[in-house]
Amino acid sequence: KAGVTQTPRYLIKTRGQQVTLSCSPISGHRSVSWYQQTPGQGLQFLFEYFSETQRNKGNFPGRFSGRQFSNSRSEMNVSTLELGDSALYLCASSLVSTGAFYNEQFFGPGTRLTVL
């Protein structure tokens, strides 16, 4: 079974631009979560989508948004980029099943975003 894929792997943008990152979950996984990883702040949760609905949101400004499509693929968008948005953005998918809590998340390789 193919793992979680993220595109693109690397991005370089300038301040003020916007960016869209894409994530394809493992087949059959309906939950997709996004995380930001930086050396200073570590791994921080951005949001989670399940069945095309945002189910959870982390403590990030409204410039960070996302969506999920009917095939469970997800995108996240960052508008008006700032230097501090430079990070590794990780997507994770998990299987959601009735009665089973906290199934492990499977992570993609990440998108390395550099804002100049």
Partner 1 sequence: AQSVAQPEDQVNVAEGNPLTVKCTYSVSGNPYLFWYVQYPNRGLQFLLKYITGDNLVKGSYGFEAEFNKSQTSFHLKKPSALVSDSALYFCAVPIAGNTGKLIFGQGTTLQVKP
Residues interacting with partner 1, by CB under 8 A?
4, 6, 31-33, 35, 42-43, 45, 48, 50, 55-56, 58, 90, 92, 94, 96, 101-102, 104-110
Least gap, CB of 86 to partner 1 (angstroms): 15
Q: For residue 111, which of 48, 50, 23 has the smallest C-alpha distance?
A: 23
Nearer of residues 43 and 83 to partner 1, judged by Cβ: 43
Positive or negative, the Cα torsion across 21, 4, 44, 96? positive
Least gap, CB of 37 to partner 1 (angstroms): 9
Nearer of residues 18 and 71 to partner 1, judged by Cβ: 71
Least gap, CB of 24 to partner 1 (angstroms): 13
